[in-house]
Chains A and B, each alone.
Chain A
Amino acid sequence: MKNRLRVLRAERRWSQADLAEKLGVSRQTINAIETEKYDPSLPLAFRMARLFVLELEEIFQPESVP
């Protein structure tokens, strides 16, 4: 799954550690999501959407839309 997390974080001038702290996860988890090695759970994805005041689809997109 693709995501715009790195861009959204950079726009707010947050470090990975800042975002990790706001979301209650480790910095490594943020890095793994940004590099698309790990897809977050729905609860974590919703926390991200709430934090960035965006819809889920504005942060995450499937690899290929049928």
Chain B
Amino acid sequence: MHESSKSKPGTTLISSYIGAVAVWGVGRLLIRFSAESQWLPTWVHAVVAAASVVPLVLFAFWLRRMLASDFDEMMQRVVLEGIALGFAIFLTLAALYLNLRAGGVYVPRLDPPDLVLGAAMLVALGFAIAWRRYR
């Protein structure tokens, strides 16, 4: 990850972030499926739950190191713009969702983890948009 992050920092940032979120999402789907069908014991759910966030933890450490020393000024700006853009889109969609639900319009029921996943994917989209702007 380190060598390619120097030669293609934007691509590495987006792909490793999406990969980490995807692993978390797959772990969550597995746990939900198993919990509903009582397929796996609870202790396995706990192991999968912990294991599925390991890539996100690694990504957090990697991002901290890259921001502190390896990302140049443009990449730091891409990260900042990506997070800001993702949050702005999330805020807009969340406001729309709340208004539609308050108005009695049919909207899918979302658990807090679904909302977190949505925000995470929007941040990934924000990274991609910000990176594309400077390419």
Partner of B7, one of A27, A32, A40: A27
Given the complex of chains A and B, what is the CA–CA distance between A31 and B77 in angstroms?
A: 15
Partner of B9, one of A26, A40, A44: A26
Q: When the two chains form their complex, are residues A38 and B7 in contact, meaning their CB atoms are under 8 A apart?
A: no
Interface residues on B, range: 10 to 19
Interface residues of A in 38-61 (CB under 8 A from B): 38, 40-41, 44
Partner of B134, one of A25, A32, A41: A32
B27, chain A: closest CB distance, angstroms: 33
Q: List 29 A-B contacts (CB under 8 A).
A: A24-B72, A25-B72, A25-B73, A25-B74, A26-B6, A26-B7, A26-B9, A26-B72, A26-B74, A26-B75, A27-B7, A28-B8, A28-B9, A28-B74, A28-B75, A28-B134, A28-B135, A29-B73, A29-B74, A29-B75, A32-B74, A32-B134, A37-B133, A37-B134, A38-B74, A38-B77, A40-B73, A41-B73, A44-B73
A contact residues vs B (CB 8 Å cutoff) = 24-29, 31-32, 37-38, 40-41, 44
B contact residues vs A (CB 8 Å cutoff) = 6-10, 72-75, 77, 133-135
